[in-house]
Chains A and B, each alone.
Chain A
Amino acid sequence: MDWLLNPEGTGGKFAVMIVAILLFVVVMGVILLLADLPKRVPNWVIAAVFAGPALLLIGFGLLYPGLKTVRDSFYNRTSTEFVGLDNYVTALTRDEFQIVLRNTAVWVIVVPIVSTFLGLLYAVVVDRSRFEKFAKSLIFLPMAISMVGAGIIWKFMYEYKAANFDQIGLLNQILVWVGLEPQKFLLDAPWNTFFLIVVMIWIQAGFAMTILAAAIRGIPDDIVEAARLDGVSGTRMFRYITVPSIRPALIVVLTTIAIGTLKVFDIVRTMTGGRFETSVVANEFYTQALRQGEKGLGAALAVILFVLVIPIIIYNVRQLRASEDIR
């Protein structure tokens, strides 16, 4: 059975892939067939057949590991000795982690707000232009690109050469053209964090635009008409009609981007590897838990990540409840 674990060459890999899919199909098929054979089967058996496999996997792959990680976060680096809150104290107080937390906070505040703002701007402006579809596609395209790819794209934008050489990166070339010194965008803290953040905004603005543009189109006609009859137009229309009408969509966009940003890892990993004071919690988790073998500390960082998601979700739920009540 070794070839299933260590396939030889391209053909072998595809063979294993097909075997995996077939195996899955056959197992599921047999289970379903057995469930269908007898005429009268109790409902719970049917339910177990349909929902069982998924629930088992969720239990095995999400629930149990999650609880295990919570436990590990109270143990030392090899999970052999109970250390109480030590890992959390380390993760929240040691100097280098202070920087990590500060960076994460900056990311989670800046990215959602700027992306949503830009997305809203696009949604309003692009919607009224003749090249709507084309412009939308271009702005939306970064969504389809992996964060690794985006990281590389922007690494080349930020590329730095000393002033007496030709510049390779466009941004430094522009600085040179207007007579300024080229900058080491990715090396100089604390501003390098903002230059990483730009990449995430570049990706997320298209997402915000898509959802907000759809929401704006969903505003009922009568509201717009009534406001227009009252003489409302332009920025006042935007401020008093458009924004309140798409409030639920705005909240979804803000919180969704915030959650995605909280877990951002690929950009930091690809562009700086977390060096030069650019690390964030998700990257630090990877470094500690999977590179340094700091099991306890890594677990604590993962739990911190989880805990940070919760207030965003609560805010989301409350705001959406509130706007449902208004209706």
Chain B
Amino acid sequence: MSIPIPDTTIVDETPEQGKGVGKLDRLDRRAGALRRTTSSKSASIIAIVLAVLWTIPTFGLLVTSFRPAREIRRTGWWTAFSNPEFTLENYSDALYGSSTDFASYLVNSFVITLPAVIIPITLALLAAYAFAWIDFRGRNILFVAVFALQIVPIQVTLVPLLSQYVNWGIDGSFWPIWLSHSIFALPLAIFLLHNFMKDIPRELVEAARVDGAGHVRIFFTVLMPLLVPAIAAFGIFQFLWVWNDLLVALTFGSARDVAPITVRLAELSGSRGASWHLLPAGAFIAIIVPVIVFLALQRYFVRGLLAGSVKG
């Protein structure tokens, strides 16, 4: 219905799912044919130029983050090459300085992210199993409803949720943030994992049933091992979403004790105070975690992204 991702999109990310040698052969041949029709040299040059252009802003900030405070405020980062002077002071100040204290916000980010990834995936796995493999009345209607709720912008829910949390007396703690992130992730997670579960051959499940396995055992012993790639894909996507989120954190966790690093950065970015020169270092402290995840697990990341692009 809403935004089905075309099958074709995942092909190049998972060549091992293709039909072995023949498929790779074809890809190679086509790649060769393409290369013959265009001068690959000029394409390479354009590719490099574009990639460099795309990276300059990040690179500039990275260089800036290692420059002494007075240089950051006075001259541009490109002058650092003719007049090299670098320091790690910004990083230690940003992390442990009393005015910024990014270290404790970093801790908050970790504390927020882990449960906000584990809880929705577990709940979504169970729900997806029910929708895929248990016959019950109203199954289709419920599934379509969950699916449709994907398009609800989270903005619509924030204020009523906040007053509910205040009523319960849990506002300003980690609990509302965990709960909210988990809830917002569910419709998409259920939908995606359901699609993966449906792809598992029926015979496998039937065979386990004949052997006398109940739903719980089938879920854990038959399905879970086969779903590891899907879980990884969604897990990474959710990790990045939660780690990089600003809106949910600002709404439910702007208090210093629970605010993640994005909140502190946005705050610092809005003020041009004495800590302004720590902004580049602070930004990189926040960026480095998702970038490592991205570089290490690019393949899964892409799959999660292809699948998860409709969320928000």
**Which A residues contact B (CB, under 8 angstroms)?**
4-7, 10, 13-14, 16-17, 20-21, 24, 28, 32-33, 35-36, 43-44, 46-47, 49-51, 53-55, 57-58, 60-66, 68-70, 72, 122, 125-132, 134-135, 137-149, 151-157, 166-170, 173, 202, 205-207, 210-211, 213-215, 217-219, 221, 224, 228, 233-234, 237, 246, 248-249, 252, 255-256, 259-260, 262-263, 265-266, 269-271, 273, 282, 285-286, 289-290, 295, 298-299, 301-303, 305-306, 309-310, 313, 316-317, 320
A303 to B134, CA, bound (A): 35
Known contacts being A145-B287, A269-B246, A290-B158, is A213 close to B175, with CB within 8 Å?
A: no
Expressed in whole angstroms, the minimum distance between the Cβ of B114 and any Cβ of chain A is 6
Describe B's contact surface by its main secondary structure.
helix
* List of A residues within 8 angstroms of B160 by Cβ: 64-65, 68-69, 72
Expressed in whole angstroms, the minimum distance between the Cβ of B247 and any Cβ of chain A is 5
Q: Do A61 and B180 have beta carbons less than 8 Å apart?
A: yes
Expressed in whole angstroms, the minimum distance between the Cβ of A137 and any Cβ of chain B is 7
Q: Do A36 and B214 have beta carbons less than 8 Å apart?
A: yes
* List of A residues within 8 angstroms of B33 by Cβ: 224, 228
21 interchain pairs, CB-CB under 8 A: A13-B107, A21-B118, A43-B135, A50-B126, A50-B219, A72-B159, A125-B43, A131-B48, A141-B291, A157-B60, A168-B72, A211-B309, A214-B9, A217-B30, A252-B4, A269-B246, A271-B269, A282-B153, A289-B158, A305-B156, A316-B3
- In this complex, the member of B123, B164, B184, B286 whose beta carbon has the largest number of chain A beta carbons within 10 angstroms is B123
Beyond A141-B55, A155-B279: 10 further Cβ-contacts under 8 Å?
Answer: A5-B169, A24-B118, A63-B149, A129-B46, A139-B51, A146-B246, A210-B302, A215-B8, A286-B247, A302-B155
Q: Is the C-beta of B207 less than 8 angstroms from some C-beta in chain A?
A: no
A290 to B155, CA, bound (A): 11
* List of A residues within 8 angstroms of B270 by Cβ: 270, 273
Specify the chain B residue showing the minimal Cβ separation from A51: B130
Specify the chain A residue showing the minimal Cβ separation from B241: A146
Interface size of B in residues (CB-CB distance below 8 Å): 135
The B135-150 residues at the A interface (CB cut-off 8 A) are 135-137, 139, 142, 146, 149
Describe A's contact surface by its main secondary structure.
helix
A215 to B8, CA, bound (A): 5
Q: Do A310 and B54 have beta carbons less than 8 Å apart?
A: no
Partner of A299, one of B7, B50, B159, B169: B159
* List of A residues within 8 angstroms of B162 by Cβ: 290
The B2-54 residues at the A interface (CB cut-off 8 A) are 2-13, 26-27, 29-30, 33-35, 37-38, 40, 43-44, 46-48, 50-52, 54
Known contacts being A24-B122, A207-B309, A266-B246, is A58 close to B153, with CB within 8 Å?
A: no
Partner-binding segment picked from B73-81, B87-95, B224-232: B73-81
Q: Do A13 and B9 have beta carbons less than 8 Å apart?
A: no
Q: Do A127 and B34 have beta carbons less than 8 Å apart?
A: yes
Q: Do A303 and B11 have beta carbons less than 8 Å apart?
A: no
Known contacts being A125-B50, A166-B74, A218-B8, is A156 close to B43, with CB within 8 Å?
A: no
Q: Do A260 and B312 have beta carbons less than 8 Å apart?
A: yes
Q: Do B312 and A138 have beta carbons less than 8 Å apart?
A: no
Shortest 3 CB-CB contacts between residues of A and residues of B: A218-B8, A61-B183, A146-B244
* List of A residues within 8 angstroms of B119 by Cβ: 21, 24
Known contacts being A72-B159, A252-B6, A256-B310, is A62 close to B244, with CB within 8 Å?
A: no
